[in-house]
Structure 1
Amino acid sequence: MTVEPIAKSASPIAFGHSGRRWLTAILALLIALGAGFLVWKAFWQPPPPAPKPAPVYLQTETVQRGDIEQAVFASGKLQLHKYSDVFGQVSGQIKDVLVTVGDEVKSGKMVVELTPTVPSARLESNRAQLARLRAELSDQRAQQDFAELQFKRQTQLKAENATREESFESSRMSVYSAAARVEAINAQIRQIEATLKDDEETRSHTQVLAPISGTVVSVAARSGQMIAAGQATVPLLRIADLSRLTVQARVAEIDVPLLHKGMTAYFTTPGYPGKRWSGKLRQVIPVPADGSGEQGKQTFYNVLFEVDNPQQELMSGMSAQVRFVLAQVHDAVLLPLALVGKPEADGSYLVQVAGASQTTRTNQANQQSTPRKIKIGIRSEQMVQVLSGLEPGERVVVPAGAAAPAVKKAVPPPAASVPVSIPKAR
């Protein structure tokens, strides 16, 4: 039969076409996967290795040597130390003023010329009255001599009972009366002489002289001005010795117990930056300074000391930043105050000392730091003196969260009174 052969040959033909399609699809997929792998292989890079932990850095301060000073700070003013106000000694009119502000004068030099107000007519009248009284005195003395002679004669006659009692008593009264008139005239003469002497002395005081040697710092007199002797008015002028000035400093009450007479004090003034003057404390005024200690205000006391001013660079009224030295040490071992925390129970202080391999001030590779106890002495606003526990050149770790202190000269506020110093690091 022809039917079976045809049926057997139809099945392989159908399977062949389908297999080729699947093979083609598989090959295309493999080719795509290979191409994708090649592309991935060409562009893919492995991730970089994980970074190593960054080293920890320490901030340190180097122990050094220098000078340290503990002091009480105060603001103050310069004022005149020795001066004299000049007044007119007599009433009159100013004829001429012979000096101006800034002139140097010597003691005894005429500075103002006056015209006294005592009139010449009064002088002549007093002189005439004095002459008349002296003439009356001569006449009265002659009458006194005559009365005494009469009394002597009456005394002799009475002894001989040759005169009456009334005549004797009358002669005795004449003697007493003559003596009294002589004494009265003498008193009048003394009074006129005193008045005349005062008037003549007044007229002779036409010159006002400088009481001390120094510099004229103020002049209130003017030509033609009328003045009255002894009147409490503005002085004609003021003369001051500027070779020595007084510093008046205002010190807070909390610092006053630290001060004592004779301690060293020095100051600077804005007019001469970098220069300072020194003296010895003379006096603490025992009453509060004006305007302090009232209605809740802080109490201040005025403290005085003198300073030499041979070149007269300083002038009265200049402001002064004053320091009263409590203690000072030269060539001391110094550590910034910011690195010292609270004291331990035994009074020492604990600091962290960095390893010896560190060589710079900040940002050094971490080395092992070790705790160490130190003892400190005096302290300033920025530095402390190390008595034991540290040597110059060692480095102390700055505590976490604390900034490295900058060693520089501090300028305290003018209205406060705090301990300050000027360290001199080497």
Structure 2
Amino acid sequence: MTKPQKTARNIVIALIAILVAGWMAQAWLFPPETKIGYVTAKPRIGHLADTVLASGTITASKLVSVGAQVSGQITALHVDLGDRIKEGDMIAEIDPSTQQNDLLDAEAALANITAQLAAKQAELRQAQLDYTRQKKMRALDASPQEDFDAAEATLAVTKAEITALKAQIDQAKIALDTAQIDLGYTEIRAPMDGTVVALAVKEGQTVNAAQSTPTIIKLAQLDTMTVEAEISEADVIRVHEGQPVSFTILGDRTTKYESTLRAIEPAPDGIEDDDDNTDDDAVYYNGLFDIDNPDHRLRVWMTAEVIITLNDVDNALIVPSAALIGPDTNGNYSVRVLDEKGDAIEKPVTVGLNTNIDAQIINGISETDDVVIGATSGATASSQSVRRGPGGMF
């Protein structure tokens, strides 16, 4: 290769190197503008509800502990677990021997005092005659004053003794009534219609009612159940009687039971045990509502997953709450939507119900708008539609 050819080649190589270096410098110092991509969502028409979630326990609408009011051995038990019984049905019998003897003692004591009263009334008649006779004789000065005074005192004492005996008779009648009642307590009967949900004793067992009433059975009315929903102190101020509630149970999450909140207990659980709540445990208040249970599918102590509806709207135009811009100082909101060129423009809107997850738009946009809920510069789209402006990948 001649020297002029080498020189020309070197010049070409140098020019190429300069062009490459210039292009790289331009790319480094002046990168091309990247078009922002937007994550959007279409507004939808649907039902929107603001709710409070709570965990609840299902209990019987009435749950009664039927106990023994007298001590003794259970000689007969007439019910079994799960039995449905009627008010007045015999539940159990306690050996009545002690109570029968007490009744006989009370009857004898009343008869004894009654006989004493009859004898004392006879003495009263004699004392009255003696007093009358002594009074006449004393008027004629035919007997000493001492005899009249003694007759008068005897009459007064006899009347007082009769008054005391009458009071003792009243006490004896009360004792007799108590003995008859105690004898009746040896037959334990159902105080209401219900289902036997617990048996606390067995036939042949001895119960002692001296200090507290021992439980024989627990009787529950299961046709109507009560749900005790634990509402946190953060939510309870927004909850009130009459709000609609629904719940599901752990064994069947597809069946929804619906009712109305009946009451909210004014104090949290445990107040009867700890009046000065100084620990750091969360505070919950029980919200109460009832539910029909004709087939007894709901059982005592089941767990209920409760939803309390604070407010709801049907046929609402709904957008994600994340799309809202605001409120401003005047309490106004706006959202960004894409125009025909794919650019985001801001539109003022009127917001109705806002659950902080979804929000109702009363006016300002329509179902056809693409509402911006976020921006992205990457190429990976989310599960919602991604639109990019001109020059983008899509």
Q: What's the counterpart of residue 386 of structure 1?
A: 361
Q: Matches of 1:378 and 1:269 in 2, distance apart?
A: 29
After TM superposition, the runs of 4+ consecutive aligned structure 1 residues lying more than 6 A away are 55-58
**Deviation digits for residues 26-54 of structure 1, max 9, x if unmatched?**
xxxxxxxxxxxxxxxxxxxxxxxxxxxxx
Compute the displacement of 1:86 (Å): 0.7
Q: Matches of 1:349 and 1:83 in 2, distance apart?
A: 55
Cα distance, 1:138–1:304 mapped onto 2, change above 3 Å: closer
Aligned equivalent of 2:88, options 82, 94, 108: 108
Q: Matches of 2:294 and 2:49 in 1, distance apart?
A: 28
Aligned equivalent of 1:251, options 231, 238, 255: 231
Compute the displacement of 1:344 (Å): 4.7
Compute the displacement of 1:294 (Å): 5.6
Q: What's the counterpart of residue 60 of structure 2?
A: 80
SS for the counterpart of 1:100 is coil
Q: What's the counterpart of residue 339 of structure 1?
A: 323
Q: Matches of 1:198 and 1:215 in 2, distance apart?
A: 31
SS for the counterpart of 1:146 is helix
Aligned residue identity for 1:331:
N
Cα distance, 1:238–1:224 mapped onto 2, change above 3 Å: same
Compute the displacement of 1:353 (Å): 2.9
Matched, 1:208 2:183: no
More displaced stretch, 180-189 vs 218-227: 180-189
Aligned residue identity for 1:93:
Q
Compute the displacement of 1:246 (Å): 2.2
Cα distance, 1:66–1:370 mapped onto 2, change above 3 Å: same
| Percentage of pairs with the same residue | 29
User: Contact 1:91–1:116 at 8 Å: present in 2 too?
Assistant: no
Compute the displacement of 1:330 (Å): 0.5
Q: What's the counterpart of residue 313 of structure 2?
A: 329
Aligned equivalent of 1:316, options 277, 300, 315: 300
Q: What's the counterpart of residue 348 of structure 1?
A: 333
TM-score by length of 2: 0.75
Aligned residue identity for 2:57:
K
Aligned residue identity for 1:349:
S
Aligned equivalent of 2:347, options 372, 375, 382: 372
Aligned equivalent of 2:147, options 167, 171, 179: 167
Q: What's the counterpart of residue 400 of structure 1?
A: 375
User: Contact 2:207–2:214 at 8 Å: present in 1 too?
Assistant: no
Cα distance, 1:333–1:404 mapped onto 2, change above 3 Å: farther
Structure with higher Rg: it is 1
**Deviation digits for residues 299-354 of structure 1, max 9, x if unmatched?**
43332233332332222222222222121111111223343355455521221235
SS for the counterpart of 1:254 is helix
User: Contact 2:75–2:95 at 8 Å: present in 1 too?
Assistant: yes
Aligned residue identity for 1:223:
E
Cα distance, 1:238–1:399 mapped onto 2, change above 3 Å: same
Q: Matches of 2:105 and 2:37 in 1, distance apart?
A: 107
Compute the displacement of 1:128 (Å): 4.8
Compute the displacement of 1:381 (Å): 5.7
Matched, 1:70 2:50: yes
Q: Matches of 1:396 and 1:149 in 2, distance apart?
A: 116
Aligned residue identity for 2:287:
V
Q: What's the counterpart of residue 70 of structure 2?
A: 90
Task: Output the aligned Cα RMSD.
Answer: 3.2
Q: What's the counterpart of residue 205 of structure 2?
A: 225
Q: Which runs of 5+ in 1 are unaligned?
A: 1-54, 356-365, 407-426
TM-score by length of 1: 0.70
Q: Which runs of 5+ in 2 are unaligned?
A: 1-34, 385-394
Q: What's the counterpart of residue 33 of structure 1?
A: none
Cα distance, 1:229–1:389 mapped onto 2, change above 3 Å: same
SS for the counterpart of 1:166 is helix
Compute the displacement of 1:122 (Å): 5.6
Q: Matches of 2:339 and 2:86 in 1, distance apart?
A: 69
Q: Matches of 1:127 and 1:277 in 2, distance apart?
A: 59
Q: Matches of 1:121 and 1:300 in 2, distance apart?
A: 53
User: Contact 1:118–1:199 at 8 Å: present in 2 too?
Assistant: no
Compute the displacement of 1:108 (Å): 1.3
Q: What's the counterpart of residue 300 of structure 1?
A: 284
Compute the displacement of 1:285 (Å): 3.0
Count of matched residue pairs: 343
More displaced stretch, 113-122 vs 311-320: 113-122
